[in-house]
């Protein structure tokens, strides 16, 4: 019995290509004391993995060539050296990786409660994407009732939750997404107050029209030209949560907007990484589970099947072709 | 008896020219109930006045052509309709303006205590410049002992106090200034750990060498190329206090650096304006008066004489030729 896994074979230049990865097989590792062996049933893909494929150090070390690609996984315990997690327990691992099996320390795993939501939702709204939205919006954005919140990549795993949580907090929420289908989804299924298509020719004017009172919080998942269109609309005292720069991952040398508004409008910009805020997980799980059970958070996932579909799904996500949180069933 | 005053006659393009201003005379205004008439003895010049001369709204309305130029003043009460401030009281007015007399409401004035420091110091270390340094560094920068703090315009009114306060808090302090005289002053008189000349050919390398542990706090008074040299040196968790962008005031359309490090290093950027933090004035005055009396804050002022010297001193300051807080004795 072997472990099939996806390893990085070359550092992507720009958008990753299938040839940058390879599926190989390796012996299944055995758990040591305090560890468990997981058999993965779902993988969750996130743009952050792209960051670690480059040579530049970001908030984590870059991956080495030959490493299994970093990512979230859901699995069942198939061998346990940790009394707290007996065989058969369903868990979520933030760093299970793009493979069929992984070994993890028990304290780094989250128990998956399928009475709250199906296992795959623990990769999205109840997983890293949902917690990223929750912590970034509430702790760093600090929304107040009646404020205008703009979120980019609004139909994606993080953005869809940012907008819905902001609505629950009484904000006017404007989503930015690419294409008429996503715009309609964001407005009609997710219940945003307005949604704007960044691919349309009149994007900047449409965004301005959708924000008649300016923008108090911009939750940025993309950077680049979309960010530049939001920038002049920021209100005095505005906050920008820098959660992702997906438009810039393929070229981290792009410039940013001038700083004059930072001064004149006393803006606050916060780069953030969810893993710095793990202490908020209990409140997050309590609130988000409640909202899901009350039907106040709409779940949308982009589901593929099989390890072979992981790389194509990842490339689709990085080029904006996904629809909701990107997950792969194994 | 008339009031001589400096009014704006045209909006400067780039660096202001003397022809953008005119000295005129007007009747002296009379104080109403709760107000006093001040005869100014000192004026304090600050780069922020340049911001209000442009057409763009910044944090305050732009000045109108014909307005008296905005600025701090020290004066004595010569006519009082406010029992709390009898004739003869020395006060500081944040908005006295570039003129010989002004009328102000008593509650908007700060009493000048010359037993703490001479009147002119209440325009600098004990005035807006000192409080800007105090609030920006301590409240927004949140320095911790042993951290590296970099400040630009380090020999200026704000920068000189930022660096000295950071030293008092146990930080390693690196100043950026223009020219060998200023660099020597910052290092030898102000006691910074290191100082770097942004006009030297090897500025970026010298700055890197002066910050062997990277930069935890950058207190930015200038923006532009100096900011761009600090940017790659920021440490994870670093804070940038955006207090001034003097290099960009003459062209607010300049771009900024790319945002990748904001995300990868979870930086926080805070634009700030001292007047949003007036509630901190009691602590500021208590601490700064004590430090001055203990000889722990070095006072350096660039003194000119007479209303005719105001515009030339202002232009010298905006082109980096001042040395310490720019004040004019009337």
Show the 3-state SS of chain A.
Answer: CEEEEEEECCCCCCCCCHHHEEEEEEECCCCCCCEEEEEEEEEECCCHHHHHHCCCCCCCCCCCCCCECCCEEEEEEEEECCCCCCCCCEEEECCCCCECEEEEEHHHEEECCCCCCCHHHHHCCCCHHHHHHHHHHHHHHCCCCCCEEEEECCCCHHHHHHHHHHHHCCCEEEEEECCHHHHHHHHHHCCCCEEEECCCCCHHHHHHHHCCCCEEEEEECCCHHHHHHHHHHEEEEEEEEECCCHHHCCCCCCCECCCHHHHHCCCEEEECCHHHHHHHHHHHHHHHHHHHHCCCCCCCEEEEECHHHHHHHHHHHHCCCCCCEEEEEC
User: Average of pLDDT values for B167-174?
Assistant: 98
Distance CA A44, CA A71 (A): 6
User: Average of pLDDT values for B198-219?
Assistant: 97
User: Average of pLDDT values for A110-137?
Assistant: 93
Closest alpha carbon to A177 in A208, A198, A205: A198
| Chain B interface includes A268 (CB < 8 A) | yes
φ/ψ of A44, rounded to 5, equals -115, 125
Q: With beta carbons less than 8 A apart as the criterion, state whether B111 and B55 touch.
A: no
φ/ψ of B294, rounded to 5, equals -80, 0
Residue B248 confidence (pLDDT) above 80? no
Question: Does the distance separating the beta carbons of A248 and B259 come in below 8 Å?
Answer: yes
Question: Does the distance separating the beta carbons of B262 and A271 come in below 8 Å?
Answer: yes
Question: Does the distance separating the beta carbons of A244 and B264 come in below 8 Å?
Answer: no
Domains of chain B: 2-123+299-329 (3.90.180.10), 128-275 (3.40.50.720)
**Which of the four pLDDT bands, split at 50, 70 and 90, describes residue B252?**
low
| Chain A interface includes B248 (CB < 8 A) | yes
Distance CA A299, CA B163 (A): 51
Q: pLDDT (tens digit, 9 = 90+) per residue, A275-328?
A: 889 899 999 999 999 999 999 999 988 999 999 999 999 999 998 888 888 999
Residue A258: per-residue pLDDT: 93
* Residue A178, token pair as written in the block: 């690419």
* Residue B102, token pair as written in the block: 């002004």
Distance CA B43, CA B195 (A): 29
DSSP B101-153: EEEEEGGGEEE--TTTS-GGGGGTTTSHHHHHHHHIIIIII---TT-EEEEES
What is the least distance, in Å, from the CA of A14 to any CA of chain B?
Answer: 15
Helix axes B128-135, B157-168, angle to 10 degrees: 50
Q: With beta carbons less than 8 A apart as the criterion, state whether B183 and B251 touch.
A: no
User: Average of pLDDT values for A19-28?
Assistant: 96
- Give the DSSP H or E segment for B207: helix B203-210
- Give the DSSP H or E segment for B176: strand B172-177
Question: Does the distance separating the beta carbons of B268 and A268 come in below 8 Å?
Answer: yes
Distance CA A79, CA A32 (A): 10
User: Among partner residues B51, B257, B267, which is closest to A271 by beta-carbon distance?
Assistant: B267
Closest alpha carbon to B164 in B111, B197, B124, B198: B124
| Chain A interface includes B256 (CB < 8 A) | yes
Closest alpha carbon to B29 in B3, B68, B50, B57: B3
| Chain B interface includes A259 (CB < 8 A) | yes
Mutate to test the interface with A, among B224, B260, B270 (most CBs of A within 10 A): B260
Q: With beta carbons less than 8 A apart as the criterion, state whether A245 and A239 touch.
A: no
User: Among partner residues B257, B263, B270, which is closest to A268 by beta-carbon distance?
Assistant: B270
Q: pLDDT (tens digit, 9 = 90+) per residue, A206-243?
A: 999 999 999 999 999 999 999 999 999 999 999 999 99
Residue B45 confidence (pLDDT) above 90? yes
Mutate to test the interface with A, among B58, B214, B257, B271 (most CBs of A within 10 A): B271
Distance CA A282, CA A236 (A): 33
**Which of the four pLDDT bands, split at 50, 70 and 90, describes residue A252?**
low
**Which of the four pLDDT bands, split at 50, 70 and 90, describes residue B253?**
low
Q: pLDDT (tens digit, 9 = 90+) per residue, A278-291?
A: 899 999 999 999 99
* Residue A41, token pair as written in the block: 């049933």
Residue B18 CB coordination number (10 Å): 10
Cβ contacts of B59 on chain A, cutoff 8 Å:
236, 263-266
| Chain A interface includes B257 (CB < 8 A) | yes
Cβ contacts of A245 on chain B, cutoff 8 Å:
259-260, 263
| Chain A interface includes B267 (CB < 8 A) | yes
- B274 → chain A, closest CA residue: A266
Give the length of chain A.
330
**Which of the four pLDDT bands, split at 50, 70 and 90, describes residue A193?**
very high
β-pairing, B21-27 vs B2-8, is antiparallel
Q: With beta carbons less than 8 A apart as the criterion, state whether A320 and A35 touch.
A: no
Cβ contacts of B257 on chain A, cutoff 8 Å:
255-256
Q: With beta carbons less than 8 A apart as the criterion, state whether B52 and B45 touch.
A: no
CA distances (Å), B176 to each of A181, A292, B180, in order? 52, 53, 11
**Which of the four pLDDT bands, split at 50, 70 and 90, describes residue B184?**
very high
Question: Does the distance separating the beta carbons of A262 and B242 come in below 8 Å?
Answer: yes
φ/ψ of A162, rounded to 5, equals -55, -50
What is the least distance, in Å, from the CA of A192 to any CA of chain B?
Answer: 26
Number of A to B CB contacts under 8 A, please give it.
Answer: 108
| Chain A interface includes B51 (CB < 8 A) | yes
Distance CA A210, CA A200 (A): 14
């Amino acid at each position: 019995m072997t472990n099939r896994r996806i390893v990085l074979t070359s550092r992507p230049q720009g958008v990753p290509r299938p040839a940058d990865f390879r599926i190989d097989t390796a012996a299944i590792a055995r758990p040591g004391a305090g560890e468990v062996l997981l058999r993965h049933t779902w993988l969750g893909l996130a743009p952050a993995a792209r960051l670690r494929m480059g040579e530049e150090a970001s908030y984590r070390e870059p991956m080495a060539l030959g490493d299994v690609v970093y990512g979230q996984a859901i699995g069942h315990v198939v061998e346990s050296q940790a009394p707290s997690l007996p065989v058969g327990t369903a868990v979520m691992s933030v760093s299970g990786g793009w493979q069929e099996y992984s070994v993890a320390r028990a304290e780094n795993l989250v128990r998956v409660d399928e009475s709250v939501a199906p296992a795959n939702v623990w990769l999205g709204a109840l997983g890293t994407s949902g917690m990223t939205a929750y912590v970034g919006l509430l702790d760093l954005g600090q929304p107040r009732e009646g404020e205008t919140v703009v979120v980019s990549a609004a139909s994606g795993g993080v953005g869809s939750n940012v907008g819905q949580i902001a609505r629950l907090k009484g904000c006017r929420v404007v989503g930015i997404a690419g294409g008429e289908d996503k715009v309609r989804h964001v407005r009609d299924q997710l219940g945003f107050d307005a949604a704007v298509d960044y691919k349309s020719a009149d994007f900047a004017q449409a965004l301005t029209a959708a924000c008649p009172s300016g923008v108090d919080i911009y939750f940025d998942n993309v950077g680049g030209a979309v960010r530049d269109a939001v920038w002049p609309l920021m209100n005095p005292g505005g906050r920008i949560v820098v959660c992702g720069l997906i438009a810039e991952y393929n070229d981290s040398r792009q410039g940013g907007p001038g700083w004059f508004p930072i001064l004149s409008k006393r803006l606050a910009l916060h780069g953030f990484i969810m893993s710095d805020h793990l202490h908020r997980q209990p409140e997050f799980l309590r609130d988000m589970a409640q909202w899901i059970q009350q039907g106040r958070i709409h779940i949308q996932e982009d589901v593929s099947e099989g390890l072979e579909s992981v790389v194509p799904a990842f490339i689709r996500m990085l080029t904006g072709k996904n629809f909701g949180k990107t997950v792969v069933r194994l």
